[in-house]
Chains A and B, each alone.
Chain A
């Protein structure tokens, strides 16, 4: 829900940046409900399986990300599990759209995965930085480490890492300049090309869920979690806003340039950050 709200608000922001008025913030909810209500065409049960697996995987991932220190189960927000559970969502999505038989879809997926290869590495480096500092791979503990006011937030302590993470998350959310997988003008929205009706609706929900937990991870890593759910969501929205703002003014990279960029700038930043931390 929150993710959909974010997307709606994000569309407004984009429009404002581009000097348009934009849709209302609840537009996204309307879209989803409308799509779910429509009769849709499908080709094969694997499409269904893929869609369900994708959404299921992403929901499962979302559950593991602590929101303001709160979790439905005392798992502590295990970061590796989160990363790899998210992957099953992506795999499901990829499988579903592959089964649709449209060559644009796997093309988009191929790009998405290439990009994933790019951003996982600096992201892993960032995680390792925090894990080494806290001695725990639990997001809850990483967030808990930052309690005590603005100055103890990691964004302040490790600004370089934050910049790197921001670029990485930009790629993770497939926002410009890293939206090669969607690329509406080149490959007709890539993975989404063959999806219609409720498949597209599910796809939108997936996207919303993904945005939700990605921003939540960022908040936990750099903004000290949140005292309660509202501040937490606010922070999430802040992160998303940054992404949207960058998105609205950026052109698109070629995929190999994107990966190369991710492997140079953010990785260099994070390594400098690591050196600073470890040599201090």
Chain B
């Protein structure tokens, strides 16, 4: 059996090789990438069930007074996340192989491999030190992928890197607080110690927990920090966006589940509100607020990738809410939603990448009617948004349903209502994307040029469709392997394949799907048994048989896309006006002004610098009398 450490080193070595030697051979490096991810999936599958498998590196680090030997530990939580990372990357590699023909950055493979190495480190590490190392490596590696050598994308990638740094700094500070308090950096023992500490003196545990939570929330794009998400998604290479949305946003969730949630749900003895620690309650609300705000922002978004990025932020919001509930059901729902979201959002972004591949556009106002030319992509996208909106037969529904159940079980009625808002809003903007990209009138340019993407790129789409539908009908196929994972959160319900238990009801997904299919069959029967149809071109109907050309009616003019939800956007204009983005821009601007003023201190050759020196002297002497 190959060890986890060896896999990480292998990824780093491969990254170096591809970066140094294979810059000119994109396809070959993608094949290597694909092989590596396939191999990792294989290794991880062998590791399943072998919990508490651990290995220690032959390096000893001295950090402060803490002498440690870093190592890796196979826990269900880390296993699941890394499995999904590897599996999604594997699927994505097919897509990228087809994608990478065009003017595509050559930097992606090596940095992506670095990200994989870093994520394995983060998911399997035994101690906080390696966690930090992995965590920060993620930041710069994705910075270079997102920028991809494009000048105009550089600001967006910078905003990602900025937030990544903030997160890393908070993490370091928090980890040191832990290290100083417990004299060890082992994650699992400090969790236990922290639970005890939180039970006895919650105020001592509070700052550490707060910093950690903030650090993780930044990575998952929660409310005041969400602004990196749309920018990073927009600027990232089209085939990397699935990874950002599917995986990168989940790192924060992983962190929360790893450390914060066990402590808050088990031991925190601070003030509580509605039977829940205030700490968890606040962050639950933050999750819901995140989803509501992201939803509102998505209404008026015209860029397909930015829109989907807001959708990802909204989904991260649900997950945060669910896991902070702290109940077994909430955590299960949150986790399931996290995994489901990985699948469907990755698939959605792949279809968008397919569209980009053919049209080179992400602005939805410049598209329309592509479904007629790219049916497979359209079907994938359709199933994707059905899942993303949490509509019944798809996998998104099951996890959303569980989150509702968890919320109701804890009697958080207002949160439930807010989640309804976000969920319905999701349907709104997702339909908008569906319409603006795939339906309506097709542009004349696209009519001529666009066709379905090559088969290699269709493979992950097909698999994605099967997964979304399959897990929607039989969520048990995901829930059953998750049982050891849920056991760590104190739930030992054995799952059945197609029945999900909630707090105020249960859900038989198989039954509802069968009913749905029956309904469709009835409808189809009515449709096909009735009279024949007669196909006409779209433009014929408007002008009552006249020649559209004479009426100056063109498909381009007859696509309704711009200002789709204007009424709703208008309703929320008060909120959009005071956006967080502006606050950040303002802060950055102020920082620059201050920087210039300070520059003036150094460049100005007037002698008041010496006066400052005298001031220093005065201070030293004045210090005497303090």
Contacts and interface: CB of A to CB of B under 8 A. Distances in A.
A98 B381 CA distance: 15
A141 to B, nearest CB: 9
A126 B421 CA distance: 14
B428 A103 contact: no
B486 interface: no
Given A43-B535, A110-B564, A121-B420, A88 B391 contact: yes
Given A37-B530, A41-B541, A117-B424, A109 B505 contact: no
Contact of B527 (A39, A51, A80): A51
Contact of A101 (B386, B538, B564): B538
A52 B516 CA distance: 11
A166 interface: no
Interface string A127-149: 01001100111100000000000
B575 interface: no
A60 B382 contact: no
B558 A43 contact: no
Given A64-B512, A84-B390, A136-B505, A98 B434 contact: yes
Interface in A2-54: 36-44, 46, 48, 51-54
Interface string A104-134: 1011011101101100110011001001100
Interface in B71-109: none
Contacts of B424: 116-117, 120-121
Interface string B407-430: 010010100110011001101100
Contacts of B417: 121, 124-125, 128
Given A52-B524, A76-B505, A128 B408 contact: yes
Contact of A260 (B439, B520, B571): B571
Contacts of B560: 103-104, 106-107
A135 B409 CA distance: 9
B535 A81 contact: no
Helix, strand, loop or mixed for chain B's interface?
helix
Interface string A53-89: 1111111100110000000010110111100110110
B563 to A, nearest CB: 9
B268 interface: no
A245 B351 CA distance: 47
Interface in B232-257: none
B512 A274 contact: no
Nearest to B411: A132
Contacts of B42: none
Contact of A42 (B416, B511, B534): B534
Main secondary structure of the interface of A (DSSP, over half): helix
Contacts of A42: 533-536
Contacts, number: 231
Nearest to B382: A95
Contacts of A138: 505
Interface residues of A, number: 76
A127 B65 CA distance: 58
B523 A80 contact: no
B310 to A, nearest CB: 15
A88 B576 CA distance: 30
Contacts of B516: 56-57, 60, 85, 88
Interface string A245-270: 00000000011100110000000000
B401 interface: yes
B421 A117 contact: yes
A114 B504 contact: no
A56 B512 contact: no
Contacts of B542: 102
Interface stretch (A154-162, A196-204, A218-226, A236-244): A196-204
Contact of A39 (B371, B382, B532): B532
Contacts of B567: 111, 114, 254-256, 259
Nearest to B515: A60
A170 interface: no
Contacts of A98: 434-435, 439-440
A168 to B, nearest CB: 12
Contacts of B371: 44, 46, 99
Contacts of A80: 401, 404, 505, 507
A277 B163 CA distance: 45
Contacts of B524: 52, 56
A99 B408 contact: no
Given A36-B526, A132-B411, A85 B392 contact: yes
Contact of B420 (A46, A107, A120, A274): A120
Interface string B491-506: 0000000000010111
B392 A101 contact: no
A60 B413 CA distance: 28
Closest 6 pairs between A and B when the two form their complex, measured CB to CB: A56-B520, A55-B523, A59-B519, A103-B560, A98-B439, A60-B519
Interface of B: 369, 371-372, 378, 382, 386, 389-393, 397, 400-401, 404-405, 408, 411, 413, 416-417, 420-421, 424-425, 427-428, 431-432, 434-435, 439-441, 502, 504-508, 511-512, 515-524, 526-527, 530-539, 541-542, 555, 558-560, 564-565, 567-568, 570-571
10 contacts: A36-B530, A48-B527, A84-B392, A91-B389, A98-B439, A103-B560, A116-B428, A124-B416, A256-B567, A274-B413
Given A43-B537, A137-B408, 14 more contacts: A37-B530, A51-B523, A56-B522, A75-B512, A91-B431, A95-B439, A101-B369, A110-B564, A113-B428, A117-B568, A131-B504, A132-B408, A137-B405, A256-B567
